[in-house]
Chains A and B, each alone.
Chain A
Amino acid sequence: MDVTVKVKRYDPDAARPQVEWQEYPISIDENATVLDALIMIREEVDGTLSLRCSCRSAICGSCAMRINGHAGLACKTKASDSMDANGTIVVEPAGVMPTVKDLVVNFDLFWKKIEEVEPYLKPEVPEPEAEYIASNESMLHLSGVTACIMCGACVSDCTVLEVDPTFLGPAALAKAYRFTADPRDGDANGVSRDRLAKLGMPSGMWDCTRCNECVQACPKGVAPMDRIMALREQAMEVGFGNTNGARHAEAFTESVGHSGRLDELRLPVQSVGITNIPALLGFMPVGWRALTHGKLPPLVHKNVEDVDTIRRLFRKLNNS
């Protein structure tokens, strides 16, 4: 099978370091992975090409990179599935983290975030004399998150990290959930209040845009975004509702539960908090421009027909 691997290259030691695209036309086996192709290039065509890999079987987490614009493991991606109509595969280093050379990136940021969430059990009650007994159910539930191989694919493609390096990011937040959802962490009921309080600060769980990039990128089904949503649920459950994000989710649900549809005018007021005058004023210029363009949502919010049914459903399900 003939393929052209187009690689984004960068050599910091070059006389004038710059990003360059290089094309490698090669012939590989039908069943070859993208990693097989890259190794072949390095061994037979161009020994200066740098990349990281070890296990070649989606276990070690070394070979995450962008293939055709999206992060994934090169060893888990078949070359034949990745070629465009002209037989080209585009390979770049992972995003967000700085490139060291060619396809190798610096993981400092990744590890710093993991460290920040204190990835170890922190019980707030005296430890039992013998072992901790945790239910099979709770451990099975955690097996989804513990499947993380720290490859950084999610971090590479995170839309928020791309614009704000202070965000905790998908891998670390998923790791945090691994502990908040562990019955051995936190108080006697397994509630990790301190963690949830910290994770609810700016740059934490509420900063995620729910873009699903990390879910799509993760090769291990960790679904980091779903864990972030679960963290938010936990936070709201233990009463950390006093953040813009929590207020937003509550106000949204209440609006729909009340009228069947979204009342867009009330939303910003409720989510930044009615007492937060500076933030509300911040929305004004846009509101004013919207008004003069006849674009503002209707001032009188109408209810859908059958609104009584919706309200009844809301009352019933809001407590479940």
Chain B
Amino acid sequence: MKYAFYPGCVSQGGAPELYPAAKLICQRLGIELEEIRAWTCCGAGVMQEKNQLFGDTLNARTMAKAEQLGMTIMTICSTCQGVMGQANQRMQNPEYLAEINSHLAEEGLEYKGTAEIKHLLWILIEDYGLENLTPHITRSLGNLRIAPFYGCYIVRPTEALGIEEHPERQTSLETLIETLGAILIDFAGKTRCCGFPILTINEKNSMAMVGKHTSEVKDLGADAMVTPCPLCHLNLDGFQPKAAKQAQRAIDMPILHLPQLIGLAMGISPAELGLKKHIVSTAPLELKLGAGSR
């Protein structure tokens, strides 16, 4: 089981704890990763606003390299997943693909349009199999109440995400939380926007979104929220203190990256998973987990 690994900028930039955590759990699970050489930013939808052709050409370059490796691309970010999926969808148009390939030719690359792009979340359920994950679960999360938070790009628009062939993707995060043995705290905001894209444009609205989601799950008694999107993590965790101030209430909701929650269930220590790097303290969560002493 081997994948062409596409880490995405944020897992090595604003959320540097994600990259090692993802690699660590994959290694323990026996999922081999070959990082795509000289991969570039997916554009996060922002670059596509300014220049879609440039953004798509960079993504085609990454996908062409995965094609050469003959492997499915593994992403660890909802935004990368959605943006690359949408680019790939546009490139199913032969004329557009030819135009893009004319730009890739200089580098001796050609994208044939066959790349498959899958988030770790989907890989675990569809390729790895939950029945194969279960034996790796060595620590009980039984008393943890965990709320899901998907990130827009892994739920919408559905055509770019293969939802028709894979309807189970729409509940994949809930499925995983339950498989890991935690108590699922379902809430309506799980598929909404975290507000990150407008952080520097309309901070007040961005903070209102962070405050809304985190306090909603707080009031439902959640111990933590888990997300497959490091951009959501940046906003929900990094800017939660600011959001709490704006909302004029205490929130203190720990936000976990998906691989961190999986790692905790696999018995890996919170420190090794980078929980200390979070802005909102995960100490109460670790205490509840009985992991504080490890």
Contacts and interface: CB of A to CB of B under 8 A. Distances in A.
Interface of A: 69, 159-160, 162-164, 167, 202, 206-213, 215-216, 229, 232-233, 236, 243-245, 248-250, 252-253, 255-257, 260-262, 264, 267-268, 271-272, 279, 282, 285-286, 289-290, 293-295, 297-298, 304-306, 309-310, 312-314, 316-318, 320
Interface in B89-123: 103, 106-107
B9 A261 contact: yes
Instruction: Pick from B37, B43, B200, B277 the residue with the most CB of A within 10 Å.
Output: B200
Interface in B192-224: 192-193, 195-198, 200-206, 208-209, 212
A202 B202 CA distance: 8
Contact of B152 (A212, A232, A253, A256): A212
B193 A159 contact: yes
Which secondary structure dominates where chain A touches chain B?
Answer: helix
Nearest to A202: B202
Contacts of A255: 41
B132 interface: no
A316 B51 CA distance: 12
B54 A249 contact: no
Given A163-B212, A216-B156, A293-B277, A262 B50 contact: no
Contacts of B188: 69
Nearest to B211: A163
Interface in B2-46: 9-10, 12-17, 37-41, 43-46
Given A304-B39, A317-B57, A285 B202 contact: no
B193 A213 contact: yes
Given A215-B156, A253-B46, A306 B107 contact: yes
Interface in B43-88: 43-51, 53-55, 57-58
B128 interface: no
A105 B235 CA distance: 32
B201 A260 contact: no
Interface stretch (B173-181, B237-245, B250-258): B237-245
B152 A211 contact: yes
Contacts of A256: 40-41, 43, 47, 58
Contacts of B156: 211-213, 215-216
Contacts of B198: 160, 206-209
Given A159-B209, A293-B277, A294-B277, A285 B201 contact: no
A248 B279 CA distance: 24
B136 interface: no
16 contacts: A159-B192, A159-B209, A206-B198, A209-B195, A209-B206, A211-B156, A229-B49, A243-B201, A249-B49, A260-B41, A279-B200, A286-B279, A289-B241, A295-B17, A305-B38, A309-B106
